[in-house]
Amino acid sequence: MNNKKSLKLIILFFVLSTKYIFSIADWTMLVYVQAKNNLNRFATQNLHAMSKIGSNKNLNILVQWYQPGKEGIWRYKILPNKIELDSYIPTKSDGSNTKDLVDSMRWAISKYPAKNNCLTLWNHGVGILDPIWKRKIGFNGKTKESFYSDPINKENSNEENSNLEIKIDGILTEDFSFTQDFDPSSLQHRGILFNEHTRTYLTNQELVEALKQIKINVLKNKKLDILGMDACLMAMTEIGYQTKEYAKYMVGSQEVELAYGWNYTSLFRSISKGETTPIELAKGIVRTYEQFYKNRIRFYTQSAIDLNQMKNIKESINDIVIKINECKKFNHKIIKNYIRNARDNSLQFSTKSYIDLYSFYSQLSNKLNNHLKNKLNFNKPNKRNFSNKIKELLTSVQTGMKLIETAVIAKTAGPNLATAKGLSIYFPKGRIDPSYFKTSFAKETLWLDLISNVYR
């Protein structure tokens, strides 16, 4: 009799466990909203846009929201037509540090488990540079908040040569002269996790540490399925490289985003009805972003990157730099001019030290092709050897272009940025920002070797 009871209990446990497994949500989407800044009203709009769809059995929509005038940690579950407070933690937290970000993901995963997980960082962002936050006195005598990537001799710096200033609307206004028919209230720019009240933000090194802890301690050595950046300027080679061990896909913008950001209603509608793979969702973010902005503005970008390809892109960059250095042994001046010309003609973004990597490769490829057409038939051995090295470099550059096409699984760009291919890279015309030397990309690749001497 006891054996029969034990068997029934085992069967019951199996049935309940199976039911739980098959009822688990397809996605948990955590949007980490740092809105203690000039973007807070757009956070409110975005949360209401999310509530038009809301969570269901397939989808958990969660938000950790930092708001002006509110202390502590506020966590919400977005339901259909309802923004429900899940929990409140009374603590002095600025929301722009590693611990807060890790704890938010621990809450999301433990309380709302799902087959797939997406973490989206919602806020200002300035790409791979970590600027110095300081005050600037405006012409009207009023204090204005500003970011500078290097505080040294800012007042006397030459903008054309340095390009060091990171501009974020509301902190330092930048006029893009919009003329299109669009809601003027949205013509602010987003720029990760900037808190204007405590004047803090998450540096690139802190972001990497947070993602590392999330992978090891929260996801038990599994990667995030998607790392989203609903912020400006984050779709960079350097950002992809430093996050490749912690997420499968990254989605972000090469250019500034308008303050409204992602199209959350359409995005959540597309995944609320059934199973969606990580690659489908990553592409869906790009597609719904394009649908929202393509008839409203002429400049926008959004791209989804397969982070498994970032190692190949890094190795390709190293190979190109090595071959450039080999070519310089034959004629340093010519090669340096080719690189400078390619950089000068590359597509660049609102932060002028950020350029489209594919565009740079394309411009350099044109210079090398022209060189071969004009120089190929020289009979002198030295010039033949030089041409052979140029051919090898050209092959490596073209391979790099193909790797970008493979890594960027989805992209969109407005007419003003039509040639953007989805991945930016840092290539200043002046001094290299001190914060760049701290990045894993600068430490682990030969890119610094290339960009250090082009304009000297």
Tens digit of each residue's pLDDT (9 = 90 or more) over 57-80: 999 999 999 999 899 999 999 999
Q: Give the pLDDT score at 9.
A: 55
pTM for the whole structure: 0.84
Tens of pLDDT, residue by residue over 341-379, are 999 999 999 989 999 999 999 999 999 999 988 865 555
Domains, the chain: 24-127+196-308 (3.40.50.11970), 133-175 (no CATH), 312-407+424-451 (no CATH)
Q: Which residues contact 287 (CB under 8 A, 6 or more apart)?
A: 410, 412
Q: Judge whether 124 and 191 are in contact, CB under 8 Å.
A: yes
C-alpha–C-alpha distance, residues 68 and 48, integer Å: 18
Burial status of residue 326 (CB atoms within 10 A of its CB: 0-12, 13-18, 19 or more): middle
The pLDDT tens digits for 132-188 are 765 333 333 333 343 333 322 222 223 333 333 333 333 222 332 222 333 333 334
